[in-house]
Amino acid sequence: MKLDSNLIKILLISRPRFWLYLAGTFLLGCAIGLNDIEQLLSISILMNFFYFLIPANIFLYGINDFFDEDTDQFNFKKRSKEYSLLKNEKLWLKWILSICFGISLIVAFSQRLFIAIVILFFVFLSWAYSSPPLRFKARPVLDSASNVLYVLPGLVGYLQFHEMSNIFIPIILGFCWTVAMHLFSAIPDIDPDKKAGIKTTAVLLGIRKSLILCIILWGLFAFIVIELKFLFPFTLISFVYIIIPIYLIFVPKRIQSAYWWFPYINGLIGFGAVILILLQK
């Protein structure tokens, strides 16, 4: 029974709602890079997909839970939709994180050098975002910029089939999207972060200016993908990322609930993009 209970806790710490933010991005990178759909069944692809689906999420969010005791005590999400770590569970979680770190090293060094570097950079950002002394999440601008880590699984997927080339535009797109997504997700945490003495980009800008910056970044993202005619007209759906923060500027009381729309929006749009790309192969 205790083992079952611990497995459930690990599952909750990994935040299944957000699993596809890493694993789905990896699949999107694979879909863009591959030449034949059968390549998705290779051992390397399956290994990386499993890594970004479970161990990477446990590592990323487990470190966040381990060091976020100061903000979690004020955070409404920890009292409702996310697991709230108990003090006496920290040693247990440290062992789980150590195992996931070991898995990360095995996955990284079983692949080409540049892929290994990308995975290690992902591991570093996952640690540095939440953990002292760097703790990027408490440093305005760096908090949102460091969330480029969510682009890295897609880069790993693409590099399964290609060398390092023609990735400048995708990285710019990924940077705009992830910075805006992080900034948006930090808006509901403005009050708990203030109470904990944490200064984030969202705390620094406030609700309205944060939403305006999200509109600008997601607008740039939408403009570039549409200009590239990538999956057009499907990419017109990217305007939803502009419409939502515009709506919330006028109805800010809906921001808390809007935060939970995005796992579904991102999942459906990402799934649609992967299917359309694969149909063109």
Q: What is the pLDDT of residue 257?
A: 86
Q: What is the pLDDT of residue 198?
A: 86
The residue written with tokens 């040693």 in the block is 91
Write the single-letter amino acid at 149.
L
Q: What is the pLDDT of residue 9?
A: 78
What's the total number of domains in the chain? 1
Q: What is the pLDDT of residue 78?
A: 53
Token representation of residue 242: 């502009």
* 180 Cβ contact partners less than 8 Å away, ≥ 6 residues apart: 213, 214, 217, 218, 221, 241
Give the whole-number percent of the chain exceeding pLDDT 70.
90
Spatial CA neighbour of 218 closest among 274, 169, 179, 267: 179
pLDDT digits (tens, 9 = 90+) for 108-141: 999 999 999 999 999 999 999 999 899 999 999 9
- What global pTM score does this model have? 0.90
Containing structural domain, residue 236: 2-279
Cα angle value 176/157/37 (rounded, 5°) = 120
Structural Rg of the chain based on CA atoms: 19
Q: What is the mean pLDDT of the chain?
A: 88
pLDDT digits (tens, 9 = 90+) for 33-91: 888 888 888 999 999 999 999 999 999 999 988 887 655 555 555 555 555 666 667 77
CA distance 223 to 19: 27
The number of beta carbons lying within 10 Å of the beta carbon of residue 201 is 22
pLDDT digits (tens, 9 = 90+) for 184-240: 999 988 888 888 888 899 999 999 999 999 999 999 999 999 888 888 888 899 999
Token representation of residue 163: 């060398």
Per-residue HEC secondary structure of 135-155 comes to CHHHCCCHHHHHHHHHCHHHH
